[in-house]
Amino acid sequence: MHQHTLGFCFSVLLLLQAVAAHADYGTALTRSILYYEAQRSGKLPPTQRVSWRGDSGLKDGSDVGVDLTGGYYDAGDNVKFGFPMAFTITMLSWSVIEYKSQLLAKGELRNALHAIKWGTDYMIKAHPESDVLYGQVGEGQPDHDCWQRPEDMTTPRTAYKIDAEHPGSDLAGETSAAFAAASIAFKTYKPRYSAQLLSHAKQLFEFARNHQGVYQSTIPAAPFYVSSGFQDELLWAAAWLYRATNEQMYLDYLESADTGGMHPSFCWDNKYAGAHVLMAKLVLEGKLNTNKCAEYKKNAEEFICSVIQKGNNNVQMSGGGLLYWQPWNDIQYVTAAIFVTTVYSDYLKSAKSTLSCPSGEVTPDELIEFVKSQADYILGSNSKNMSYMVGMGSSYPQKVHHRGASIVSIKKDPTPVTCKGGFDSWFNKDAPNPNVLEGALVGGPDASDAYDDSRSNYEQAEPATANTAPFVGVLARLA
């Protein structure tokens, strides 16, 4: 074959690879939103697309006389943990706010809004009075001692709340942020619903401010979702409320509060980087120019510089190039970090600005290139040629640590699965899950890029709603 023909073929191959990668982001976006339907608790709607799931948790809240049906199971278990659920809704809402036009173009905006509303409808029920918020349904340890489909669960469905005498500023603050962000996402499409969400956001912020404490002092979330403090959630909620309302009182709070400095990660427990980025946006737009606001921007940029490996204290990376924080569910930190990097790239571009890192100036396009490297790794461009999103590509985790996915669908076999029987019949079975949990992001590989596809390997093989929520926005931007 002639040299120029070889060159032509190679060019076509590159073009096809680029098109394939482009298409992959779109497919991954569709699946990442579909995943939330598999995590639904409550009475499933006629529009339910994940057909292997059935109704579950239909008596949730009956022990306290409040309807607490609905919402999401947080990961591979059957507990409704309000703290990570609210963060999931905040991040899904932020994804919609920033990338509404891209989601619309891909035909996914309606599905994304449905995913948010499934959470906010539940959160409205969970907030029956201004200073009362139900933050958990189910009990962590008894639930983890059983292996049952949500449709069969026989474990206690105790409802736990915070109130004025038993506060939880972190839980109330994060739920306030979720309501405020969702109110922006729904403003054009459902103005009355948006106003209702904003009212809940305002009440919960006051509750969080006026009755301070960590929620696990009252709600038995330990050891599953223990909060390290609540100052970050108060900042996060205030930043979202200011974005939703433009009311001076929220800016006053942000001006008077401690910015918290630069934090090394962004996740369901640590919102500082998110709050910093929201404030930095206002500085870039020329709307704020105080010393305190400049400090927020500096913190945001230090975090992003460390993520993209151009800071003074960079985030560790695996040998194969994935950002690495810890062995247990590392991907949740990756997706959250690349989401704020993505939105910051767009904020910089709008402001015709660049990012000044200790290692030099970084353009908005260079930020997106880094984001792509991480997204591509997650979707299969890695040494194992394995996608860490279930259902994507030819190779992905088959034995995901997830009760519903690992047990035959109740639609195929309605025989109840008992608490311990589920371990014998399904958990310990050396076979792929009978149901594909499409769009779920598992915890991911270790620092050496190794991954053990085993149902018992919950550190790596368990997906969670907080993993996928930030990735929705990243994929919408890249698709």
Check which CATH number belongs to the domain holding 409 and give it: 1.50.10.10
pLDDT in tens, the chain (479 residues): 444 433 444 343 333 344 344 459 999 999 999 999 999 999 999 999 999 999 999 999 999 999 999 999 999 999 999 999 999 999 999 999 999 999 999 999 999 999 999 999 999 999 999 999 999 999 999 999 999 999 999 999 999 999 999 999 999 999 999 999 999 999 999 999 999 999 999 999 999 999 999 999 999 999 999 999 999 999 999 999 999 999 999 999 999 999 999 999 999 999 999 999 999 999 999 999 999 999 999 999 999 999 999 999 999 999 999 999 999 999 999 999 999 999 999 999 999 999 999 999 999 999 999 999 999 999 999 999 999 999 999 999 999 999 999 999 999 999 999 999 999 999 999 999 999 999 999 999 999 999 999 999 999 999 999 999 999 999 999 99
Active site residues: 401
In a domain, 7, yes or no: no
- Domain extent at residue 409: 25-45+52-478
In a domain, 18, yes or no: no
Task: Give the angle subtended at the CA of 322 by the CAs of 316 and 326, to the nearest 5°.
Answer: 55
Residue pair 362/354 in contact (Cβ under 8 Å)? The answer is yes
72: enclosing H helix or E strand? none
Query: What's the number of domains the chain is made of?
Result: 1
Pairing type for strands 360-362 and 355-357 reads: antiparallel
In a domain, 402, yes or no: yes
In a domain, 265, yes or no: yes
In a domain, 2, yes or no: no
- What's the pLDDT score for residue 45? 98
Residue pair 392/28 in contact (Cβ under 8 Å)? The answer is yes
3-state secondary structure of 284: helix
pTM, whole model, 2 decimals? Answer: 0.95
In a domain, 97, yes or no: yes
- What's the pLDDT score for residue 74? 96
- What's the pLDDT score for residue 6? 38
Nearest to 123 by CA among 193, 192, 178: 178
- What's the pLDDT score for residue 8? 40
In a domain, 6, yes or no: no
Rounded Cα–Cα distance for residues 409 and 324 (Å): 35
In a domain, 124, yes or no: yes
Rounded Cα–Cα distance for residues 447 and 426 (Å): 30
- What's the pLDDT score for residue 21? 44
Backbone angles phi, psi at 133, to 5 degrees: -140, 120
- What's the pLDDT score for residue 246? 98
